[in-house]
A and B are shown apart, each in its own frame.
Chain A
Amino acid sequence: MRVPMNWLAEYCDPGMDAAALADRLAMTGTEVERVVRHGAQTTEGFVIGKVLTREQHPDADRLSVCGVDVGEGEPVTIVCGAPNVDAGQTVAVARPGAVMPDGTKLKKAKLRGVESNGMILAEDELEIGGDHNGIMQLETDPALSGRELAAGAPLIEALVPGEDVLELEITPNRPDCLGVYGVAREVHAITGNPLASLPTGPSPEGDETFSIEVQDHTLCPRFTARVYRDVKVGSSPLWLKQRLSAAGQRPINNVVDITNYLMLLTGQPMHAFDMDKIRGGRLVIRNASEAEKMTTLDGVERVCDEQTVLVCDGEGPSAIAGIMGGAISEVSDETTSVLLEIATWNGPNIHRTSQKLALRSEASGRFEKGLSAELPLEVQELAAKLMTELTGARLTSATIDVAGEIAAPRAVKLRATKLRALLGAEISAQRCAEILQRLAFDVAVEGDDVVATPPHFRAADITREADLIEEIARVEGVDSIPATLPAAPAAIGRLSGSQRLKRRIEDLLAANGYHEAITWSFTGAQQLAAISADGAAAPEHELLTIANPLSEDHSVMRPLALPGLLQAAKHNLARGADAVRLFEVGAVYSGTADEPREHTAIALLLSGPAAAGTWRDQGANGDFYALKGVVDAVAAQAGVTPEYQPIDATHHTYLIPGRAAEVLVGDVSLGWLGELHPLVAKRFDLPDTVVGELNLQALSALLPEPVTYEPISTFPPAREDIAVVVEAERTADEVLGVVREAGGKLLSGAGVFDVYEGEQVGEGRKSLAIRLTYSAPDRTLTDDEVAAARAKITERLESIGGLLRG
């Protein structure tokens, strides 16, 4: 909200400049977004002038050469291009040295050979209004005519040429600050400077009545109206235009300007009806029927629903309550009778309707925050003053007031002990009372306690002791509260086992050359199709779909982190990276809106060498086994050694089926890894790439008990190597399984150290070289014992078709 400094000072003079006030407001709970300048950059150099003479410029048809009295004894020459300039006028003059709104500093200038000592100003040149048809004639302005305007007097005596404007961010709990007067109350509270009261208007001259019926007071707690006759619609005085413009509202005509001005002053929106266009001579406030239509004054036909509240005349809708008037009863230049509605509406209902109709206005933005139902009566008084003074109207009715039951503000008790306990600072009951009084509360001190009743415009926000404490804290200054630390014997800080596991895994991956990425949690159908080898359909995942996504690409919660990592790999390879090793630890999602599921995934991607090459070593190739080593290392952090089993390719269409594995511990699946399908790799412009994903929660669940020491054998082990030729389909795990079973207790280790396929072993067969280690905890094994164990192993290997090579 924009608050012009001069307007503010009319009600409470802060006694400081805009920047200092901005700081004070910020430190007491009113956020100032910035201070801006409206109109001229300076007030100096702007004076009142009297045009004494006007002559045609000798060399330019459209220019006049004027002799202007600017209070310097001799008149000065000013060249003016306005068609309406003439001798006898009182005008606004910018003298050389004056700084215009756009920052240009005015200088003496020769215009077609004639020296001009300034500029006679039009409205738009000071950002007062939009009018550039001619210069401002101060003596004809309704508010200035009849006033003594001395030539050479500072212009600010008649009109504000430029001023600072505060741009405030009003928090939703303070709708009372949505007007200049509300901000003046704040300034009063924080500075103690006097607060002027709002003026009151004339008493009604007539006793005209008008029928108003409110069907549901929960939707319309109060509806007030006053009737004005002999209204002359016309232009507003300059001061009003200047204030509206400085506050960011375009001047239109005096009646509309008055309603806007009062809204900006008090925060209370209102609506002026052309009384003669209210059919049937009555208003009914009711809910719309389903799909009831009406045209708002912006010319758009609106389709209402049953929760929309309408202000209707005898024949149909005339305005959408609290949001926008109807075209049918709009005030025009011909209007002579005005019914001024000032009402209170149900905030949530206005909010809902404004959402539903996608129609926001200054009025709806205020009503939806919930305004005081006492406010309309006060504002009707103010309106009467302006309507009669500025439009020449006669107020012909008393205030027609149709109100439901309006709750009075409730007294709230503030205990000094509670205040102290919450803030950790000492503020006396007396001081509390003083602060609350300045905030317009009704206050009684009862010993150490204070009983305070909020003013009506704060009644909705102040209902509890905590609300009072907040008020006192902010006015007293929260920044003055001393810093202490909780005396917290029960506070024991530590990370949980799974949090520590996560950190270990992240550190492990970083230490092994992987960069941590953070990719979007969102994905889209197209991205999921792109990781399916056939490109046609998304992989089989239960997708959690956002009802109101920002874009198609971000419409689904990722069921796996792969699409984001592939995109990141593509990004980096396109920018010259020769290897990409990425990991991400983050949530992946599944299930439905009713039963959403998420778990933390550890996603891995390896594209290019497994380790960076150096000047003497090209680096190991990044393939399945390279990433399997990483997966083993990650699992080892949780103290487990996983098994690798063939994967169900229909669930992992982005992998090469024969080069992929499910990672298991017992029957718990930890995740998967595998080489990226070349068709998928091609879509992301990737070379051979290996990817994988593990479930952090599944790993955490396997975190072991503390390790129990086992005695180390002091007897040397016996080692020997064997080579066995088996069918190529046999996996290493199968063969080792057979070996281990046959070796029994004496076989303490068995591992494959070489694999050979080729002519020497024949088509469809392979040779596995296996290192066997035999040992016993209590003795050195004899040759006979080792030989017996080996014989058993050999026998079992032969039984599965294995052939031992010499």
Chain B
Amino acid sequence: MWKSVAWDAINEGKAMKVTRRDLLVWGAGAAAGLLATPVPWKVLDDVSIWSQNWPWIPQPTRGPVEVKQSFCTLCPKACGLRVRMANGWAVGVAGSSTHPISRGALCPLAFAAHQLNWHPQRLRNVRHGSSLSTWAEAQSAFAKASKEGPVVVIDGYSGRAASSVLETFAGKQGGSYRVVATPELRAFTPYEQWTGIPAASLGYDFENARTIVSFGAPLLDGWGTPGRLTRLWAESGAGLSDPQLRLIQIDSSLSRTAARAWQWIEIREGSESALASGLAGALLEQNLVPAHSPVPSMTLAESSAQAGLSVERIRELARLVVAKTPALVVARDDDPAIAALNVLLGSLGNRGGIVPHSEGVKPYVAAESAIGNARAVLIDASVPWEFVPQVEAEIFRFAAWDGGATKADWLLPAPGFLEDLTDLPTAPGCSAQTYGVAPALVKATIEVQSAAQFLCSLDASLPTTAKIIDSRCEDLFRRREGNLYGQQIAAIDKVSSVQSFKEQLWKGAVWAGEASLSKAFACHLKEWPAQTRPVSAETWATQWKPVVMPPLASKLYQESGLREPPRRNA
């Protein structure tokens, strides 16, 4: 039958033209048929795969796979890293368990750090205002500015060899060198003022403490080198009713640290300073500390009213603090009243307290202090994007990633993750001096310069980062102290030559000294520090300061910094 129909249709076609209707019917048949073929589904699948492989999407080339030991250079905590490299590309990152401080832990940011160099916000060109420019133009503009007046150089990661280049340049040029310090580093500034020992050379001897009282510092939440405290707490305190190490978290909200601590003392937001004074009063009143200590002017009753804790609760807290010693108080920031508690408890320079770890460290000048007259400001890539210098000057800002709107006149692309040689001085808060070297493991795919390289190219008399690192390695070797943590732990006097010491450091080993417990430093407060922290809860929203991190580093674990509004108002 079909044959005759087809024959008729063909015969009919001889007489009749192909109509629009025929075309539509044919199209409908073809469309229905097409749906019954693999064409639509396969093309969809292939096109989606093709879109994942566009030529501008970086693809690691195939080649020898190796694992290199190095350090995370994204912030001054300097955690130990193992980097999986395929044909010279970093394709994976893991923590290094041989690092004596970070002990294999990393923050969430670092786990994807090898991908940051390909981030869409990567700064790829020199920018002047809103237009593209060149390195040559930036150099001549900076050279001109530095001839015309003082240059302020701002660093976010002090103590590196690169920092030394920046500082030397500022000194030679007649400008000044400033530091944007991490909250961990800022917390030591009261001790620097009282004892003259630079904040950057102080650390907490957590490993020997038996009670840690944290005033809002997110100790188990990425504070300091993330692995150090989380591992210590897991080993000696977590989940026990009477742990070897007691962690008391004084916090206005149930932060992650508060939730995991031995005890959480809930106080009103912004009342940390008042509670510190009250606690000092309670310690003195109950003769729990030497009687010659300065007495806070704030009474226990006033402190109790501000903190939202009963007087009896504060007295009980004071007894709890000294029940298991050594006791150590950690502040979230540079609050002198909280710092003074450590003086009262005799924690300075003692086992389980605050100890100096390095010598020859200079005090830093905070970038936030008045800058005065400057012709130009040069900002290193380690400075957090949020930092904006309060000065009318030409701003040259180095950054690996573009953090959005900025006041900078010049934006200069800096090396990204592991694209530049750098050394890693002691992380803030550490009780022992450490030193590591992170070579440039990956090649930058764009034209980048660090601030130190930029300055060295302008002034050939400046020592290069590589030279400084070399001489630092030699100095360390000559001291014949401490251990080298590589594949094995070796005492430095077992290392045969300076050359082999350097080689091991360049391969990712880390040198660590001993905590300087013997170097007790004297500190006698004549009077209790004046209250500097606001007690009114209304400032909670404006008081937040970003921690030092590159613009993309929105670290999840720092969410303790995202404070809830106070739940009970005075």
Q: Is chain B found bound to chain A in the same assembly?
A: no
Name B residues whose Cβ lies closer than 8 Å to a Cβ of A.
none
